[in-house]
Structure 1
Amino acid sequence: MKVINFIKEWQRALQHEILHLKKYGSNKFLVSNGRLLSTEGSYTYYFDTALSLRIPIGSQVRLEWGSMKQNGRVLSSEGKGVMLAMEQSFGDLIGEAQLFHDPWELLEQLIERLDEMKKNKQKRIRVKRLMDPSMPAKHPVEKRKSNVHELVLRSKYNPVTFVWGPPGTGKTYTLARVAANKYFQEKKVLILSHSNQAVDVLISEISTFIQKKDRFRDGDVLRYGFNTGEQLEHHEAVTTSQLLQKDNPQLADEKEMLLDERRKLKQDIARSFSKRDTNQLLELETKIAKILDRIRQKELEFIQDAFIVGTTLAKAAGDAAIYEKEFDIVILDEASMAYVPQAAFAATLGKRVIICGDFKQLPPIASARDPLVTMWLKEDIFHRAGVVDWVNDGMLHPHLFLLKEQRRMHPDISAFTNQYIYHSLVGNHESVIKTRKPIVDLAPFPGMAAVLLDTSHLGAHCISEKGSHSRMNLWQVLLSFQLIHESYMAGERSIGYVTPYRAQADLMELILADLYEKELSTADIIAATVHRFQGSERDVMVFDTVESEPQTRAGMLLTGKDSERLINVAITRTKGKFIHVSNQSFIRNHVFHRKTLRQLVEHQVRNQQTIGTKDIGKWIKNQHPRLDWMHARKLEKVIRDIESAKNSILLSLPEQTVLPEQWKVQLQNRNQSVKLTVLAGESWKELQPDHILSVSLSFPFIIIDEQLLWLGLPLEANKGVHPPYIAARLQSEKVCEYLIGQFQTRQ
């Protein structure tokens, strides 16, 4: 295909995605207490916000108040307040409104850059080399001394180099040293990635290496952009704000003073509102705008003087200081998560380009259902440039450089991915057993690096969240929390929890925030979907697949086209202990044997990594004060809780439950002030319920006074449960509130 046709298809794909986002994809924020500040030029409003919005200044927004809708732009959004310039008046005061910030602006900027490609022959040649890398490789292979040296040679002699960096293979280490090598030759280098975190990590590694060589000069390495994280806090002169503080401290201090003054004034306005405050705020905004303009001029100087500049793809496409500049080499990191047109745009900015990523990890995310979107925005450049076709045929493309040795995971963890995902192309560094042994030796399951915690025959707990239809499994999320707790009590402080499903990740976040508030302040514990966790790592990882009865098939996230990539990411975030919480029986019955999830389960069973239900009493050593695990036939504690109920009991009884007389008597004899609500497909009049919700769930539970949850009881209401019979008792008002909200609306 001709380059011009590529570009036209990319633009159409981006337009389809923009239309989809305009219809479904705006970020929505609640704003309140709106006041009209000024009518000069446009209508300027100030709103209070519950959270800091962090919407970039100048961004286009839409405000909706009742039936009124207006477009506008953000003047400032620092702290818990936002100032907007609107096209028309809403009146003097607005009680509560919705603010929409639309993510398609970034795609429109990319379309503009593609328009510029059409007119520029040099840029089109660079795109052709990227999309059709059929030119012969010219680097002298015999001169290779190391991975870094080979990549230096490749990027010197070839216009395009693809780097395949599986997890833990030293991608950041290698790219940083290649960038530093170019810097030592006084070449101009541009570092790009889709995420701020990836740019921060690479710029940090580059500047640290150059400093160790004692060749670092202030301003030569520049992290350009505002969303920099903790990674760069300890570097002296890498970010634009750090350089400004060194180069022109008076200007930096003046900016901070004005911003601080604005923060205080906004706090005053939030408490009371006067004409004097309004005038003062508008005057401050004018001063801040002038300061920011002067700072912008300094930033342009910093970019001009720097030899290595790092920024995001979005920033590069929207900022003329980057896209109008030419570099000797562009390094695009995490390219497997970038849209193909973004990768092409990156390639046009430099004489040479290194495209680095792992096409065995998650692809880019796009929403529109359209063939062009599927082709160009939902698959990565490695696939679309034909590089992956060579790998599928058992060969490496002449312009593909593979990093072959992983140093992150214990070999018992990487054994599966090395064989099934990377087809034995990747091996383990000899040091990895020794370095990960201290993590492996900790509880739970001391001495085991990879574990399948089998939840077969524990009940039918997998249901869908009412709004999103995302799957959740209450039993597995509580077991997973117990695993986190055991790891923490054993001394581990780097723990991750991942799951394919947003609802399950949200539920774990809720439990952690409620039960582990103190621990979260001292430990690095995170719960997220697998998509959100790509690019991160932890010592211990819990992977919760959620799936079980009463579902009749596993979800597409775990069995669909990209399921191999999702499972690969879930496993390879781990350093020392990978715990896979999964229902082996369900997966064997409902997942095709060639699917990655089934292969993972069978690999773990074959390698004797399974911990079954019968072992639960052996590995649970530390009962959390608010989560107890006990034998479901021992009813003394639940009976005491029922007798102690003050206001309400909510009871779930699945279809065809035969309730023992002891339970009937206990519930009938409850305190008269306690209201009993039964969730069931049957009437259960003999229990004398106050309310019946005709909702038949697949598992039993009891919620007492909206703050105490018993899961797994009454035991007789559980279907397909094998001994030992287990019940869980959770004290959490937040979790009970969430669950009640889920079940009460299913009528």
Structure 2
Amino acid sequence: MNSTVNYIKEWQQALQLEILHLKKYGSTKYLVSNGHLLSSDGSFTYFFETGSSVKIPVGSIVRLEWGGIKQDGRVLSSEGKSIILSFERSLGDLIGEAFLYHDPWELLEQLITRLDEVKRSKKKRLRIKRLMDPSMPQKHPSSEKQSSVRELYARSKFNPVTFVWGPPGTGKTYTLARTAANHYFQGKKILVLSHSNQAVDVLMAEISSFIKRKERFHEGDVLRYGSQIGESLAIHEDIVTGQLLGKHEPDLLADKEKLVGEKRLLKQDLAGSFSKRDTDELLELEKKLARVLEKIRQKEIEFLKEAKIIGTTLAKAAKDETLYTREYDLIILDEASMAYVPQVAFAAALSKHILVSGDFKQLPPIAAARDSLVKLWLKEDIFHRAGVAQSVEEGTLHPHLFLLKEQRRMHPEISAFTNRVVYNNFVGDHESVSMSRESIRAAEPFANKASVLLDTSCSGEYCMAERTSHSRMNLWQLLLSFQLIHEAYVDGAKSIGYVAPYRAQAEWMEKLLDDLYRNERQTTDIIAATVHRFQGSERDVMVFDTVDSYPQDRAGMLLTGRESERLINVAITRTKGKFLHVCDTSFINKHVYRSKTLRQLVDHQTHNGQVIPRKDIGKWVKHQHSRLQWMHARKLEKVLEDLGNTNHEMIMAIPDANLLSDDWKQILLKRNPKVKLTIISGKRNSDIPLHSFISLPVSFSFIIFDKRFVWLGVPIETNNRIQPPFISARLDSSIIAMELSSQFKRNE
């Protein structure tokens, strides 16, 4: 059995390895320009313009790189579109352009220091031992009739560690908030933590709302501590430190705003002059501002000392002495499945009782370094490392694992798969969820269907790797997915999500939406992203585009690897009433094992009659968008019209130019001779006169007219792996036209 001290040593080693990796490879990168030396009194101070606002805290360590030179420095001032840095050696008088790197590793160093302090405390080591080895007997009184809130309150009162398993839609925020409030009503001190500001905001808003409804709210007792406060606390300003300061210390905030304004004006002057007097004045302003900020800080400390429920992030708790030196009656750690194990251990050390809440069937923590210790402690969640997840795989619930087992988010047609396959039948549907989601299910596309698999088999070989990142893309499935979004929007969907496993595909959809749907997004919540962006949120309609298809010879690791179940689970469980899965089932059935979650999803949807075949596109496309139109690929009238209106350039990509029909050869021969023709193909046809030939393999046919109109699916006879009905798509988008043509540029 591993001792707590050994655990801590391994955690510190893993964190140090991650720090080394971040220092070498990973940073937030900013372009800075017009750098000039301001002063050289002891240290060398430089002013830079930043182009956009750079929010790096004063005092932070940064790295400057230009022309092969790397130099560490410190931020003296960071406001607006300029920054002042201090270095120990001279970098010359002028620096035209350079890159500035700011790393998150300082937060990890603070966590290492906190763990050093834990090592010296027998009490804190015992708390961590209970976290990592929760084999102690249950002490809470139990009753089968009690509510989830009552049972969790009892567990958190009598047991040192309680793991809360909250699958999507099971009321985790509701239950945690009421548990926290009930402890507060008993005069207890509670610290609410999460790795993300958004999660802290949501839980603190729910706690505040509940206490107010009970008419037991006292200003100052509930405190959201931190600077990154989101919209969910807009109606709860009375728990935000900044708003309380404005109420109780208006002069302090006025002084701060005055100094910030003076500093901004002075820095604008500095951009055009190198006056030492201005520089000295600016640095003096920074000192005055620092003194005001310290007064604000002291007032915040007073608020913290008086508060009974404090909400903040794990990172803030590990760096703020006022937080980590206090003792609490209860720690509530939300979204623990995305936190590093050492972070959870640090949190557990602060209190006699901790609620560790999350879903180990969703996304794990993210770390970059490739090392066995990093994989063990920073890339897997506390539920697995403490052994409570393993009990679920064996078909039982660990004594200290409390399951919220009724989901109220997804229509039962959607949850049927995740409840059975992902959650091993531990989770069921609340009786109300079917009726509450019926209006979404009843809407288009595919009215009266909540779960749909849109099969793209035998539509062509459209899956390709992005030219620079090698992330996968599939333009055919992208356009089909946009059509689904359009149908849902026209029929009244209020929130729509598009999720893809590959960043390149998600970014292309974001560009397409920005181009074709900019106005619609002003009134409807439509987001395109990879899965990580969606964790913790929900949408009426979700489009899950699996992207993978021919001519690839295998499915990507994102859909078949170790974390694929979690990724697919998050994609599905964001959905309230309509889950639309865009997938090449012929590819998946051939290249993905039956034991993999994606294959099980395809098999489930097929078995339950949820598949829409390719031939039905003419039935479900009810609203052609003015800039995206679907038509039969043999009907070329619109193609010829576009060709006749083309003034400058025509780009045609064809897998094998020798397969062009005589009709198409005549079309190309009779085109306006002023129109420049470029053909991209693996095989050239000498019978076709053209201006430029790009010898590159291409797996699908497309045409681009005047860098604006994109045709997919024509010429039909040159496409591979395609069966009738033959469909083509016409897209009016200069953005996608440019992106697509750039994929097939010659390497210089």
Which residue number in structure 2 is paired with residue 708 of structure 1?
709
1:347 is aligned to: 348
**Deviation (angstroms), 1:120:** 1.4
Structure 2 counterpart of 1:720: 721
Note the 1:376-391 alignment, pairs <5 A.
376-391=377-392
Rounded to whole Å, the distance in 1 between the matches of 2:461 and 2:724 is: 15
Shift of 1:40: 4.2
Aligned to 1:289: 290
- Report deviation, 1:684: 2.4
Q: How far off is 1:144 after superposition?
A: 6.2
Q: What is residue 26 of structure 1 aligned with on the other side?
A: 27
Q: Show the counterpart of 2:513.
A: 512
Distance 1:677 1:548 in 2: 27
Please show how residues 482-497 of structure 1 align to structure 2 within 5 Å. 482-497=483-498
Aligned to 2:129: 128
Counterpart AA for 2:603: E
Which one-letter code corresponds to 2:521 in the other structure?
L
Q: Give the Cα separation in 2 of the matches to 1:40 and 1:189.
A: 48
Q: Which runs of 4+ in 1 moved over 4 A?
A: 264-280
1:212 aligned residue: 213
The amino acid that maps onto 2:570 is V
Letter in structure 1 aligned against 2:684: S
The amino acid that maps onto 1:737 is: M
Q: Which moved more, 1:667-676 or 1:459-468?
A: 667-676
| Amino acid across the alignment from 1:69 | K
- Describe how 1:459-474 pairs up with structure 2 within 5 A: 459-474=460-475
Match of 2:109 in 1: 108
1:54-453, aligned counterparts within 5 Å? Answer: 54-142=55-143, 145-267=146-268, 278-453=279-454
2: CA distance between counterparts of 1:490 and 1:98? 48
1:136, 1:483 → 2: CA distance? 52
How far apart are residue 39 of structure 1 and its match? 3.5
CA distance in 1, matches of 2:444, 2:272: 51
Provide closer, same or farther for how the CA distance between residues 69 and 439 of structure 1 changes in structure 2, counting only shifts above 3 A. Answer: same
Query: How big is each residue's C-alpha offset from its partner over 1:354-375, in whole Å with a ceiling of 9 and x where there is no partner?
Result: 1001111111111222111111
- Cα distance between partner residues in 1 of 2:262 and 2:729: 52
- Render the CA deviation track for 1:364-409: whole Å, top value 9, x for unaligned: 1112221111111111111111111211221111111000100111
Q: Distance between the aligned counterparts of 2:746 and 2:323, measured in 1?
A: 51
**Secondary structure of the structure 1 residue equivalent to 2:57:** coil
Rounded to whole Å, the distance in 2 between the matches of 1:290 and 1:488 is 52
Paired residue secondary structure (1:36): strand
Question: What is the distance in 1 between the residues matched to 2:371 and 2:263?
Answer: 46
Tell me the amino acid that sits aligned with residue 95 of structure 1: G
Q: Which moved more, 1:282-291 or 1:606-615?
A: 282-291
The answer for the alignment partner of 1:624 in structure 2 is: 625
| Counterparts of 2:268 and 2:181, CA distance in 1 | 46
Distance 1:746-1:437 versus aligned 2 partners, 3 A rule: farther
Code of the residue aligned with 2:647 in structure 1: it is K
Deviations 1:386-435 (A, max 9, x none): 11121122111111100010011111111110111111111111111121
Structure 1 residue 656 displacement after superposition: 6.9
Report the alpha carbon displacement of residue 297 of structure 1 after superposing the two structures with TM.
1.0
Partner of 2:477: 476
| Alignment match, 1:687 | 688
Amino acid at match of 1:486: E
Q: 1:648 to 1:590 in 2, by over 3 A?
A: same
Q: How far 1:658 sits from its partner (Å)?
A: 0.8
Aligned partner of 2:569 in structure 1 is: 568
Q: Is the 8 A contact 1:657 1:716 kept in 2?
A: no
Alignment partners' CA distance in 1, 2:343 and 2:666: 67
Return the offset for 1:641: 1.7
Q: Which one is further off, 47-56 or 291-300?
A: 47-56
CA distance in 1 between counterparts of 2:579 and 2:53 reads: 36
Output one character per residue of 1:578-627: Cα deviation in whole Å (capped at 9) or x when no partner: 11111111111111111111111111111111112222122222222221
The 2-side partners of 1:611 and 1:519 are apart by 27
The alignment partner of 1:364 has SS state of coil
Q: Report the more deviating stretch, 66-75 or 483-492.
A: 66-75
**Residues 28/681 of structure 1: CA separation in 2 closer, same or farther (3 Å cut):** same
**CA–CA distance in 2 between the matches of 1:657 and 1:380?**
55
Alpha-carbon distance between aligned partners in 2 of 1:670 and 1:76, rounded to the nearest angstrom: 61
Cα distance between partner residues in 1 of 2:145 and 2:89: 65
Distance 2:586 2:152 in 1: 47
Is the CA contact (8 Å cut-off) linking 1:459 and 1:721 kept in structure 2?
Answer: yes
Change (3 A) 1:637 1:273: farther
Q: Map Cα deviations across residues 445-477 of structure 1 (whole Å, 9 max, x no partner).
A: 121111111111111111111222211111111
Structure 1 partner of 2:738? 737
How big is the shift at 1:46?
A: 3.0
Aligned in 2, Cα 1:57/1:238: closer, same or farther, shift over 3 Å? farther
Structure 2: gaps (5+ residues)? none
| Count, aligned residues | 747
Report the Cα distance in structure 2 between the residues aligned to 1:558 and 1:328, rounded to whole angstroms.
Answer: 42
CA contact (8 A) 1:695 1:746 kept: no
SS of the residue 1:150 aligns to: helix
C-alpha distance after superposition, 1:172-218 (max 9, x if no partner): 00001111111111211111111111011001111111111111112
- AA in 2 matched with 1:530: V
CA distance, structure 2, for counterparts of residue 566 and residue 11 of structure 1: 28
Within 2, Cα distance between the matches of 1:404 and 1:553?
37
SS at match of 1:342: helix
SS in 2 for 1:685: coil
* Rounded Cα–Cα distance in structure 2 between residues aligned with 1:295 and 1:91: 38
Q: Is the 8 A contact 1:144 1:150 kept in 2?
A: no
How far 1:484 moved relative to its partner?
A: 1.1
Residue of structure 2 in register with 1:578 after alignment: 579
Deviation, 1:33, is 2.3
Structure 1 706/275 Cα, relative in aligned 2: closer, same or farther at 3 Å?
farther
2:28 is aligned with what amino acid?
A: N
Which SS does the other structure have where 2:555 is aligned? coil
Offset at 1:510? 1.1
| CA apart distance, 1:746 | 5.8
- Secondary structure of the equivalent of 1:346? helix
Partner of 2:46: 45
Q: CA deviation at 1:673?
A: 3.1
Aligned residue in 2 for 1:538: 539
SS at match of 1:646: coil
State the Cα distance separating 1:516 from its structure 2 match. 1.5
Aligned equivalents of 1:468 and 1:321: distance in 2? 44
Q: Which amino acid aligns with 1:687?
A: I
- What do you get for the CA RMSD once the two structures are aligned? 1.8
* C-alpha distance in 2 between matches for 1:81 and 1:522: 35
Residue 587 of structure 1 is matched in structure 2 by 588
CA contact (8 A) 2:657 2:685 kept: no
Task: Flag the 1:286–1:421 CA change in 2: closer, same or farther, 3 A.
Answer: same
Quote the offset at 1:280 in angstroms. 4.7
The answer as to whether partners of 2:462 and 2:475 remain within 8 angstroms in 1 is yes
Paired letter, 2:458:
H
Q: Distance in 2 between matches of 1:668 and 1:218?
A: 80
Are the equivalent residues in 1 in contact too, given 2:694–2:746 (CA < 8 A)? no
Helix, strand or coil at the partner of 2:743? helix
Give identity over the alignment, percent.
63
Superimposed CA distance per residue, residues 306-350 of structure 1 (whole angstroms, 9 cap, x where no aligned partner)? 111111111111221211222111111111111111111110111
Q: Would you say the 8 A contact 2:557–2:564 is kept in 1? A: yes
Q: Distance in 1 between matches of 2:26 and 2:587?
A: 35
| Segment drifting more, 398-407 vs 438-447 | 438-447
State the shift of 1:68 in Å. 2.7
Instruction: Work out the CA distance in 2 between the residues paired with 1:492 and 1:79.
Output: 39
CA contact (8 A) 2:658 2:684 kept: no
